[in-house]
A and B are shown apart, each in its own frame.
Chain A
């Protein structure tokens, strides 16, 4: 027995003598995790957060979160002698006078961008596959909370260097607070410690950025992961996979090795970005000066959609009863995100209400199998992308030599018209894909081989659908598919015998495809053909 094995055994015994941990360890190491590439999106978000903690901690060793004015006398010659806040000066020091400081700053910034990007893509995966359904609504809510906190955290961090760009962002945030009815000026003054720019905002954002929000995020991530562990992961339909089991690999050793390796790969991508792709060169922007601004000012990407909605909003302002209602500010920056995030948080409950679907779901949906949900998601994404484009309307106008006014008018129309059209299109596309699946289930895959029957008739040979696909396709629970799957040797005739009451009992209507007819009826397939395709799939 090698020394290492002996040591491990000794440690395990020592711990188990005190904690009786072997049962827990055994169960945990044997825990089964389903594999799918899309399940790694959440991992990327998690690993990005770990990288943010590591690099961020390093940055706090040098950063001075203070708006105290100092005269710059560091290595970066163009800014020497210029008065600036200590926050900006210390960020310059990290960039130019601390060995490895610049790469840490850049990794931190890139990790923040990718943290939120991974959250958003992970959210889309969860949305389009229906992973948020019972019993996982709680984890959906936590996820939405993490998204909102991530955006706040990112904005706070973006503001800390106190450069011209981030100061402009803070001024906009202050002005948004001013627009809130009744409490607006109070809120703005209290947060900023007086009229803008005040003398407190950097000092206040710093502990919020490095202590308060990350602390809450860590708590929520822990809860998020705990629920995934406890409720077990969802999985896609496949051979041997049911609503009541999990099929995959055990945590130990292969899964852990892959996940651990993936952490280092994600970290490696971040360091490559931090080393080679310059980001947020604050020394080019200069220290914040409320009377200055640079053209083409852009926020980090995750605030872009709010910038876009602000740019698109018409200049509606109501002055009445001795007060001012600034809809031009309030709607795009407060009301709209409020509606969007509330709708996002409530979506699982709304869908359950409209579909009357109260069942447990551990098998994931294919997006095409839920045309309305997929349509809603696609419409939301199109709306979001249009707002992001609007957030860069000045850049687009410059690059493509277009009129900024026309871009703005086009996008104003676009955000109202495009999402409904995308909804209709995506829903129709899903239904078409379902029909294509029906065809495959019915006929198998066309082989291109023509066979002549004794009667003289020519028929095309079909190849049975590989099992994993057949299982995936039959996972859609519509009357037509159930008839197809359960029909066995009866084929189309079985469709007629589906009891109407049973059909009615299934959630249908808006969220369920009404339009899909079994394609056998349309194509007039013969019974033996269907039977053959089905039976070949099920040879065991």
Chain B
């Protein structure tokens, strides 16, 4: 078999160049050989008709051939003999038939394996579907790959790249057409036309803006961020709506509480944590002495960092821990930040006890709860 060389046609052939040319396949073409003549003698020629034309042109200005495809060499794999090919065929066929088994198994399991969760359910349902689906897909996939790797021709082809950039003349012509057309539009000299077009088309950009603002009701943004559902005299209730009575929470215990208002347990900003510790463990400033009742103290659970509920309470150390980004607060010292990315203490809710002995709020939180926002002043 004769071989097609891709030797460079430069005149100074260095070791580097020789290294890059294919070795071990017949004679090396000399410098300056016409590539076209080599192609025409190749038994494995796969050029299309355009190649020869392009080749002729290509030699004219030293450009690359477009879409020429030629066999460089037949690849490294030794073609199988008849017996080996038949064995390979059987393997590929086996894999394709495995796919049939997979599909049958999938259909059978899909219908027949019990699926009624809670009454008649097999935990193997999903794994079985997965098993047979995988069998079907891998059968087809592995079969195709094996087929290509054993029975199809192993060839190594070389194809010339076309130039990435256009010819300078073409570029010039395109630019000229663009410029001429622009002149024809009159835009360069008719300033009224140009400016009114800019204004008119530019103003279209404003059209979607009102629609954007329609996405949300935004009349009272600051109120929404600064206030919660807590009000003076509102009872502290659990998520099931039951009020919390003084003495119901043991020392060291906690209770998640919500304001006793409609949908109070759904407002994301109102959830709070009632913690009871020994009164002597509590260290608060003078002005907050009457915000807590007998060691019962309430903080917002909304993390001042990114809003996750801070509800992991460590009884011994009085640490409140946020599971999202590990900010740690000291519940015995006004929930000040001990560690982590949170910048502010958890807000404290002033509480007292009503005539029946139930906890009530003295009012809303004295500062916005939750993450910081631009309009927040302190």
Report which A residues bind B (CB closer than 8 A): 23, 26-27, 30-32, 75-77, 96-97, 99-100, 102-103, 106, 135, 168, 171-172, 174-176, 178-186, 188-198, 200, 231-232, 237, 239-242, 244-250, 253-255, 257-258, 260-269, 271-276, 290-297, 307, 310-317, 319, 322-324, 326, 328-329, 332, 360, 362, 393-394, 404-405, 408, 467, 470-471, 474, 482, 485-488, 534-535, 537-540
Cβ-defined contact, A313 with B341, below 8 A:
yes
Evaluate whether A315 and B46 lie within 8 angstroms (CB atoms) in the complex, with A275-B127, A329-B306 already known: no
Select one of B75, B159, B221, B307 contacting A172, CB under 8 A. B307
Task: Give the dominant DSSP class at B's interface.
Answer: loop
Cβ-defined contact, A242 with B20, below 8 A:
yes
Identify the closest chain A residue to B133 (Cβ).
A271
Evaluate whether A538 and B19 lie within 8 angstroms (CB atoms) in the complex, with A261-B144, A329-B371 already known: yes
Residues of chain B within 8 A of A274, CB atoms compared? 126, 130
How far, in Å, is A88 (CB) from chain B's closest CB?
15
The winner among B8, B337, B371 for most chain A CB atoms within 10 A is B371
Cβ-defined contact, B145 with A261, below 8 A:
yes
Ranked 10 nearest A-B pairs via Cβ: A275-B130, A264-B141, A261-B144, A485-B16, A291-B271, A290-B268, A317-B343, A75-B117, A265-B141, A268-B138
Residues of chain B within 8 A of A255, CB atoms compared? 148
B168 sits at the interface (CB 8 A) = no
The winner among A196, A255, A266, A319 for most chain B CB atoms within 10 A is A196
Q: Tell me, in angstroms, the Cα distance from A247 to B8 when the chains sit together.
A: 15
Evaluate whether A103 and B164 lie within 8 angstroms (CB atoms) in the complex, with A250-B69, A268-B138, A326-B343 already known: no
- The contact sample of 21 A-B pairs, CB cut-off 8 A, is A30-B46, A30-B157, A99-B115, A172-B306, A175-B305, A178-B225, A179-B374, A249-B156, A254-B152, A261-B140, A261-B141, A261-B145, A272-B130, A291-B301, A295-B323, A329-B371, A362-B161, A474-B16, A486-B15, A488-B15, A538-B18
Identify the closest chain A residue to B159 (Cβ).
A32
Residues of chain A within 8 A of B212, CB atoms compared? 190
Cβ-defined contact, B268 with A197, below 8 A:
yes
Cβ-defined contact, A185 with B225, below 8 A:
yes
B38 sits at the interface (CB 8 A) = no
Q: For chain B residues 119-159, which have a beta carbon within 8 Å of chain A?
A: 126-131, 133-134, 137-138, 140-145, 147-149, 152-159
Q: Tell me, in angstroms, the Cα distance from A291 to B15 when the chains sit together.
A: 74
Cβ-defined contact, B309 with A254, below 8 A:
no
Cβ-defined contact, A175 with B371, below 8 A:
yes
Cβ-defined contact, A239 with B152, below 8 A:
no
A-B pair count, CB < 8 Å, reads: 347
B340 sits at the interface (CB 8 A) = yes
Cβ-defined contact, B158 with A247, below 8 A:
yes
Q: How many residues in B have their beta carbons less than 8 Å from beta carbons of A?
A: 104
Cβ-defined contact, A485 with B307, below 8 A:
no
Residues of chain B within 8 A of A471, CB atoms compared? 19-20
Residues of chain B within 8 A of A405, CB atoms compared? 339
Q: Tell me, in angstroms, the Cα distance from A436 to B269 when the chains sit together.
A: 64
B59 sits at the interface (CB 8 A) = no
Residues of chain B within 8 A of A237, CB atoms compared? 20
Residues of chain A within 8 A of B18, CB atoms compared? 538, 540
Cβ-defined contact, B375 with A185, below 8 A:
yes
Residues of chain A within 8 A of B312, CB atoms compared? 295
Choose, from B22-30, B183-191, B289-297, the stretch at the interface.
B22-30
How far, in Å, is B260 (CB) from chain A's closest CB?
15
B42 sits at the interface (CB 8 A) = no
Evaluate whether A172 and B374 lie within 8 angstroms (CB atoms) in the complex, with A103-B129, A291-B265 already known: no
Select one of A244, A248, A310 contacting B341, CB under 8 A. A310
**Interface 0/1 of B306-326, CB less than 8 Å to A:** 111101100000000001111
Q: Tell me, in angstroms, the Cα distance from A351 to B32 when the chains sit together.
A: 36
Report which B residues bind A (CB closer than 8 A): 6, 8, 14-16, 18-24, 28, 46, 48, 50, 64, 67, 69, 72, 75, 110, 115-118, 126-131, 133-134, 137-138, 140-145, 147-149, 152-161, 164, 212-213, 215-218, 221-222, 224-225, 239, 256, 258, 265-269, 271, 301, 305-309, 311-312, 323-327, 337, 339-344, 370-378
Residues of chain A within 8 A of B256, CB atoms compared? 291
Identify the closest chain A residue to B23 (Cβ).
A540
Residues of chain A within 8 A of B46, CB atoms compared? 30, 250
Select one of B110, B117, B326, B372 contacting A179, CB under 8 A. B372
Select one of B117, B217, B344, B373 contacting A97, CB under 8 A. B117
Residues of chain B within 8 A of A268, CB atoms compared? 133-134, 137-138, 141
How far, in Å, is B13 (CB) from chain A's closest CB?
10
Select one of A267, A297, A324 contacting B374, CB under 8 A. A324
Cβ-defined contact, A261 with B143, below 8 A:
yes
Cβ-defined contact, B343 with A271, below 8 A:
no
Q: Tell me, in angstroms, the Cα distance from A315 to B128 when the chains sit together.
A: 50
Identify the closest chain B residue to A197 (Cβ).
B268
Cβ-defined contact, A245 with B373, below 8 A:
no
Cβ-defined contact, A239 with B305, below 8 A:
no
Cβ-defined contact, B155 with A257, below 8 A:
no
Q: Tell me, in angstroms, the Cα distance from A65 to B177 when the chains sit together.
A: 52
Identify the closest chain B residue to A258 (Cβ).
B148
Residues of chain B within 8 A of A408, CB atoms compared? 326, 339-340
Identify the closest chain A residue to B306 (Cβ).
A175
Cβ-defined contact, B152 with A175, below 8 A:
no
Q: Tell me, in angstroms, the Cα distance from A183 to B48 when the chains sit together.
A: 61
Identify the closest chain B residue to A490 (Cβ).
B15
Q: Tell me, in angstroms, the Cα distance from A428 to B83 when the chains sit together.
A: 53
Q: Tell me, in angstroms, the Cα distance from A487 to B203 when the chains sit together.
A: 67
Cβ-defined contact, B373 with A190, below 8 A:
no
Q: Tell me, in angstroms, the Cα distance from A529 to B289 when the chains sit together.
A: 91
Evaluate whether A245 and B6 lie within 8 angstroms (CB atoms) in the complex, with A232-B161, A250-B69, A328-B305 already known: yes
Cβ-defined contact, B224 with A195, below 8 A:
yes
How far, in Å, is B118 (CB) from chain A's closest CB?
5
How far, in Å, is A119 (CB) from chain B's closest CB?
21
Residues of chain B within 8 A of A362, CB atoms compared? 161
Residues of chain B within 8 A of A271, CB atoms compared? 130, 133-134, 137
Identify the closest chain A residue to B327 (Cβ).
A315
Q: Tell me, in angstroms, the Cα distance from A474 to B23 when the chains sit together.
A: 16
Residues of chain B within 8 A of A200, CB atoms compared? 215-216
Cβ-defined contact, B225 with A315, below 8 A:
no
Cβ-defined contact, B69 with A32, below 8 A:
yes
Q: Tell me, in angstroms, the Cα distance from A188 to B217 when the chains sit together.
A: 11
Evaluate whether A294 and B323 lie within 8 angstroms (CB atoms) in the complex, with A275-B130, A323-B376, A486-B14 already known: yes
Cβ-defined contact, A32 with B158, below 8 A:
yes
Cβ-defined contact, B126 with A275, below 8 A:
yes
Residues of chain A within 8 A of B218, CB atoms compared? 186, 189-190
Q: Tell me, in angstroms, the Cα distance from A245 to B5 when the chains sit together.
A: 13
Q: Tell me, in angstroms, the Cα distance from A534 to B15 when the chains sit together.
A: 7
How far, in Å, is B61 (CB) from chain A's closest CB?
14
Cβ-defined contact, A310 with B216, below 8 A:
no
How far, in Å, is B33 (CB) from chain A's closest CB?
14
Cβ-defined contact, B72 with A247, below 8 A:
yes
How far, in Å, is B129 (CB) from chain A's closest CB?
5
Residues of chain B within 8 A of A266, CB atoms compared? 141
Q: Tell me, in angstroms, the Cα distance from A103 to B156 when the chains sit together.
A: 42
Residues of chain B within 8 A of A258, CB atoms compared? 144-145, 148-149
How far, in Å, is A398 (CB) from chain B's closest CB?
11
Cβ-defined contact, B140 with A264, below 8 A:
yes
Identify the closest chain B residue to A204 (Cβ).
B215
How far, in Å, is A443 (CB) from chain B's closest CB?
16
Identify the closest chain A residue to B378 (Cβ).
A319
